[in-house]
Amino acid sequence: MSAALLEVQDLTITFRTDAGTVHPAKGVSFEVAQGEVVGLVGESGSGKSMTAKAVLGLVEPARAVRSAHIRYKGRDLNRLSAAELFQLRARDLAMIFQDPMGSLNPLFTIGHQLTRVYLQHGPREGSARERKRAARARAVELLKKVRIPDPESRLGQYPHQFSGGMRQRVMIAMALMCSPTLLVADEPTTALDVTVELQVVELLKSLQAELGMSVIFISHNLGVVARLCDRVMVMYAGRIVESGPVDRVLVNPAHPYTRALLASMPRGRKDEAPLRPIQGEPPSLARLAPGCPFRPRCDLAGAGCEVEQKLVTVEPRHQAACHRVRAA
CATH number at residue 25: 3.40.50.300
Helices (H), ranges, 179-271? 194-211, 222-228, 246-251, 256-263
Does residue 95 contact residue 176 with C-beta atoms inside 8 Å? Answer: no
Question: Could you tell me the pTM of the whole model?
Answer: 0.90
Q: Tell me, yes or no, whether 230 lies in a domain.
A: yes
Mean pLDDT, range 146-153, rounded to an integer: 92
Q: Is residue 103 part of a domain?
A: no
Q: Which domain holds residue 245?
A: 1-82+217-267+275-328
Q: Lowest mean pLDDT of 79-83, 106-110, 241-245, 318-322, name the range.
A: 79-83
CA dist 41 and 48 (Å) reads: 7
The 10 Å Cβ neighbour count of residue 200 is 22
On whether residue 108 sits in a domain, the answer given is no
Instruction: Please state the rounded mean pLDDT for residues 264-282.
Output: 76
Phi-psi region of 274 (alpha: psi -120 to 50; beta: other; left: phi over 0): beta
Quick check: is 54 in a domain?
A: yes
Q: Is residue 193 part of a domain?
A: no
Do residues 91 and 138 touch, judged by C-beta distance below 8 A? no
What does the pLDDT average to over 137-141? 95
Q: Considering the domain boundaries, does residue 302 fall inside one?
A: yes
Average pLDDT of span 168-174: 91
Q: Of 297, 303, 247, 249, which is closest to residue 277 (Cα–Cα)?
A: 297
* Structural domain includes residue 43: yes
How far apart CA 24 and CA 237 sit, in angstroms, is 7
Please give the Cα distance from 22 to 25 (Å, whole number).
9
What is the total count of domains within the chain? 1
Q: What is the mean pLDDT of residues 182-206?
A: 84
Interval 115-141 mean pLDDT:
92
Confidence of residue 1 (pLDDT cuts 50, 70, 90): very low
- 75 within domain boundaries: yes
